[in-house]
Amino acid sequence: MDIRLGNGFDVHRFREGDHVMLCGVRVPHDRALDGHSDADVGMHAVTDAIYGALAEGDIGRHFPPSDPQWKGAESEIFLRHAVELAASRGYRIANIDVTLICERPKIGPHGADMQAKMAELMMLDAARVSVKATTSERLGFTGREEGIAALATAALVAA
Residue 123: phi, psi to the nearest 5? 55, 45
Give residue 38's pLDDT band: very low, low, confident or very high (50, 70, 90): very high
pTM above 0.95, yes or no: yes
Between CA 131 and CA 45 the distance in angstroms is 12
pLDDT at position 36 is 87
Instruction: Give 95-154 pLDDT, tens digit per residue.
Output: 999 999 999 999 999 999 999 999 999 999 999 999 999 999 999 999 999 999 999 999
CATH code given to domain 3-158: 3.30.1330.50
Between CA 29 and CA 18 the distance in angstroms is 5
Sketch the domain layout of the chain as residue ranges.
3-158
pLDDT at position 1 is 86
